[in-house]
A = this chain, B = another copy of it.
Amino acid sequence: MNGFLGTYSVNMDEKGRLNVPSKFKAILEKSYDSNLVVAVMDNFLIAFPQKEWQINEEKLSSLSGLEREDRQKMREFYSRASECELKSGKILVPQFQREIAGLNKEVVLVGMSKSFEIWAGDRWNKL
């Protein structure tokens, strides 16, 4: 089976939840589980299935924990990540990440094979 593909426009509710498109849900159910990790990248978010996140984590662990720049990189990555379980078909994006990514109502989900990105509608349209 393929990974996450395509671009979906969804609406976030007032509490910051967004409906995961059924195609993405099917992939999660089939190849993964309901645990996602959402990380910040520049001005958008990346949602990793738990399993894929772990692969990244291993890549990062090759960096030394004793070098200043490495620690800096790791800090950026870990400090702004969060665990987001898929519940009732939706995920709740935490407040602080919504702010960083500038998420309002209109949100765009972009398939990236092993992960998918979460963009504010206006930022995506300006690309």
Copies in the complex: 2
Which of B5, B65, B78 has a CB less than 8 Å from the CB of A78? B5
Interface size on A, residues (CB 8 A): 39
Contact B74 A5 (CB under 8 A): no
Do A79 and B2 touch (CB < 8 A)? no
| A108 vs B65: C-alpha distance when bound (angstroms) | 19
Most chain B CB inside 10 Å of its own CB: which residue of A3, A50, A56, A74: A74
A:13-41 near B, CB below 8 Å: 23, 35, 37, 41
* A interface, CB within 8 angstroms of B: 2-7, 23, 35, 37, 41-42, 46, 50, 53, 56-57, 59-60, 65-66, 68, 71, 74-75, 78-83, 94, 96, 110-115, 117
